[in-house]
Amino acid sequence: MSVPTDHPFAFDPTYGYSLEALQALRAPEAPEGFDAFWAGRYQRALEVKPKPQRRVSALSHPAWQVEEIHFTSTDRVRIGGWLLTPRSGEIRRGIVVGHGYGGREAPDFDYPVTDAALLFPCFRGMSKSPHPPISGNAVWHVLHHIEKPDQYVIGGCVEDLFVSVSALLQLFPALEGQIGYSGISFGGGIGALGIPFDPRIDRGFLEVPTFGNRPLWLTLPSTGSAASVQIYRKTHPGVDEALRFFDAATAATRITVPMLVAPARFDPAVAPPCQFSVANAVPQKFNETFILDAGHFDYPDAATQHNLLSEKVRTFFGDP
C-alpha cells in the first residue's frame, strides 16, 4: 500500500504532510457559544414532527425492500431519500447514511451492514430534497448564507441529520439506543458536527470527512467545496469567524460515542490535514482510525483497502 505519486493536479494532494505530521494535528479552539449554538440547533430539530411517508420504489434489490421516503425537517424543508429494510432476518439497528457533495441518486445497495434499517436522506437543497433558492450544485450550495451562522445551509443540513434520526425512530421505535450514523466526505463533515449533540446516536463512521480545521481548510488548494469558499473569502473575509462554528474537528472533540474514522493521506478534494484533524480530535477511548492511501481519487490498492474498510464497518455496527 502506498500514497499515489502520479496525478494530474497542479498541487500536491498530500500537501507535504508526512503521516507523523498528519497524526500530530489538533482541532482549533471553539468560539465562545459553540456548544450552546449546536445544542440549540438540536433542540430546534427535536421540535419538528417529521411525519415520514413511505412508498415502494421503482428500484428493487433481492436482499432489500426498497422504499422512497419523504419527511419534514426544520424550516419546513421537505427531505427526500430512500429507506432500505432487509427482506429477511431481524432489524437490529438503524443507520442514517449521509452522502458526498455530489448528492445521491440512489441508495447504496452494497452497504456492508445487512441487519439494519438504512435511511439514505438527501440533505436540503440536494438531489431528492430541492429547496430553492438553495442550489443543488456544491459550488453554490456551500456558500448559501455562509456569513450568517443561524442561517448557514450547513447548519440546516446538520438539522436534517437530527430530524432523520427522529424519522427513523418514529418508524422503528424499538431501535432507540441503536441508531448509528455513517457519512462520507460532505456527509462525514455533517456527521462530525451533528453526532456530539444528538445523544440518540450511539456510534458513527466518517470516511474522508470535510469541514475539519477550517483555518487550514480555507487556505489549502482543493478541487472540492473549499475552493468555492476560498474564492468567496477574497472579498468576504467575514467568513473566517462565521465558519468557526462549523468546524468538524472542533465538534469532534465533543464526541462521546464509539467512532470509526477513515482519513486519507492523499486527497485533492478534501485536504488530508483537515481529515486527520477530525480523526485526531475524537477522544482516544472512542476512536478507531483506518487510514486510506487516497480519497476522491482512484489508486491501485483502492479495492483492497475499501474491502477491508467495509469489513470494519460491518463489525463496527455489529452485523453478525
d(CA 235, CA 27): 26
For residue 1, what pLDDT is reported? 59
Per-residue model confidence (pLDDT) at position 246: 98
What would the pLDDT profile of 217-256 be if each residue is shown by its tens digit?
999 999 999 999 999 999 998 899 999 999 999 999 999 9
* pLDDT of residue 131 exceeding 70: yes
Q: Helices in 13-147 by DSSP H: which ranges?
A: 19-23, 34-46, 138-141
pLDDT per residue as tens digits for the range 135-191 = 999 999 999 999 999 999 999 999 999 999 999 999 999 999 999 999 999 999 999
Task: Round to whole Å and give the CA distance between 44 and 41.
Answer: 5
Which residue shows C-alpha cell 434489490? 61
Between the alpha carbon of residue 51 and those of residues 73, 74, 76, 104, 287, the distances in Å are: 9, 12, 12, 22, 34
Q: How confident is the model at residue 113 (pLDDT cuts 50, 70, 90)?
A: very high
CATH number of 19-309: 3.40.50.1820
Residue entry with cell 482549533:
28
pLDDT tens digits, one per residue of 263-314: 999 999 999 999 999 999 999 888 999 999 999 999 988 999 999 999 999 9
Helices in the chain by DSSP H: which ranges?
19-23, 34-46, 138-141, 153-171, 186-194, 214-217, 225-233, 239-243, 248-252, 272-281, 302-316
- Write down the pLDDT at residue 320: 53
How do 116-121 and 93-97 pair as beta strands? parallel
Closest residue by Cα to residue 84 from 103, 107, 105, 104: 107
pTM (2 d.p.): 0.97
> How many helices, marked H, and strands, marked E, lie in the chain?
11, 9
Q: What is the pLDDT of residues 32-71, one digit of tens each?
A: 999 999 999 999 999 999 999 999 999 999 999 999 999 9
The whole-angstrom separation of Cα 221 and Cα 181 is 29
Q: Which three cell numbers stand for residue 310?
A: 467495509
Q: In the predicted model, is pLDDT for residue 213 greater than 90? A: yes
User: Which of these, 80, 96, 107, 99, lies nearest to 138 by C-alpha position?
Assistant: 99
Half-sphere exposure of 176 (CA within 13 A, CB side): 4
Those residues with Cβ within 8 angstroms of residue 30's Cβ, 6 or more apart along the chain or in another chain: 244, 247, 250, 253
And the C-alpha cell for 269? 478534494
Lowest model confidence (mean pLDDT) among 128-132, 219-223, 273-277, 315-319: 315-319
